[in-house]
Chains A and B, each alone.
Chain A
């Protein structure tokens, strides 16, 4: 018996809806709260990934890195501090603005933002141009995941590393259930793990702990905007979110811990 599960189809079916709701405009409106989280967390998850990539030899001080879906620089900034250059692919103008502010704050001059979706990037222009391709918390923009992964392989001359949540976080289990938002229920990591293995790509798997810290305003805003992807915000939603954030507030900051699953491979 061979177990035949069409993981590509499962991915596409589950991601299609999330991807269509998570527009560039959505990210424009998330720039403020996301940057707040990244700064309050001192770039924690990006730095965790950076340290891992250096210890495993995926990157070093000479590396040229591309960060797909850079946002305000959660990964771009920690990498730029330590590598030769980072090309940051990000379609939302407000996110690029935050990224530039964050880079300026650290006097980093080796970041090259490209205001485009990854799908709009001409990969031929960048064939084998990067030692490391990073794509963290952005894969759910790609219903045609294999097409996009092949394009990532194309621009890499070293490694590809994709990352997302591992298991369920406290937020997704409690809050979104209460609000009736189901997008967190789809286990992206698990599906991608099996999809890549079913395609013979045999990725390595590394699970890293990370923590996020954000202001009360940022926490409320991020949750409200997730709800608004699905429906107009009601006063009941606002009440649930505010109560939840208040219950977790300590010294003006909402903190949470989680795990990230990294799938990485050397490009042949």
Chain B
């Protein structure tokens, strides 16, 4: 198609703005502290299955080596720190939320990982000019939906990278019981979009990058109590968290918990697009 007519960054901004119009308030850094325990439990599922699968995608292509200098934008509870650090030279985790930083330290300590540094800042606050081309690999997982100025932030990521940039991006689509829960609480208000993929691919492509993709599947296994925290933060952003809302969530969690050998848990299966590119590569013939 003559897709020059589609401005993918404009679409990205529009989706971001549309989400904001139905939010009572935007996410605050402290929300991620509140969510750090449930997020950590989710990412630790099946012995860091998600992080290990992303590691495997990159190792297969020889994009990670024992002397790699790695930086991650938005490390959360150590989603990638724990699987990657044993296989690289040094790992720099950019993460602003105190709770998440505590989880990184706990999880690293448990795994005997010491070759990491934490920059306790939002990515937007990091002075990239001081770290120009300092890293062989830049990672980021399910964070970019927070950046309205997506290409500005991508360019800043590329600036600190001398090797490969890799964004693990969610598909953001919701269906089935999750959507039913939303509708039972929010009525006709459409489910907020947290789109990352394939939008990010289109944005990179339109900006002359040459990205590769592998789609991976992974499980998230959490207790109902931990998930309740997640829902409390999520629905508080969109509505008043009343006892009626809590009751609906409780019922939903009861209905969707299953008996596992480790006890009752809620299991979710996710697909993630692992997108990686060389910031310096351009297709032949492009400007």
Contacts and interface: CB of A to CB of B under 8 A. Distances in A.
Interface of A: 1-3, 5, 7, 10-11, 14, 55-56, 166-170, 172-173, 185-187, 190-191, 193-194, 197, 202-207, 257-259
B202 A168 contact: no
Given A167-B286, A168-B286, 6 more contacts: A11-B1, A166-B210, A167-B210, A172-B285, A186-B1, A197-B198
B273 A202 contact: yes
Contact of B214 (A197, A204, A257, A259): A204
Interface in B1-32: 1-3, 6, 11, 14-15, 18
B214 to A, nearest CB: 5
Given A1-B193, A197-B198, A204 B215 contact: yes
Nearest to A188: B1
Contacts of B198: 193-194, 197
Contacts of A185: 2
B283 interface: yes
Contacts of A202: 171, 215, 271, 273
21 contacts: A1-B14, A1-B18, A2-B193, A5-B6, A10-B1, A167-B284, A167-B285, A167-B286, A168-B283, A170-B285, A186-B1, A186-B2, A187-B3, A190-B3, A190-B202, A191-B1, A193-B198, A194-B198, A202-B271, A205-B213, A259-B283
A206 to B, nearest CB: 5
B15 A1 contact: yes
Given A186-B1, A257-B284, A207 B212 contact: yes
A187 B1 contact: yes
Contacts of B212: 205-207
Contacts of B270: none
A258 B11 contact: no
B100 to A, nearest CB: 29
A197 B195 CA distance: 13
Nearest to A57: B60
A10 B3 CA distance: 10
Nearest to A5: B6
Nearest to A208: B212
B152 to A, nearest CB: 21
Contacts of B202: 190, 194
A258 B282 CA distance: 11
Nearest to A201: B215
Contacts of B210: 166-167, 207, 259
Contacts of B271: 202
B207 to A, nearest CB: 12
A259 B14 contact: no
Q: Which 7 A/B pairs are nearest by Cβ-Cβ distance?
A: A167-B283, A205-B213, A1-B18, A10-B1, A168-B285, A197-B198, A173-B285
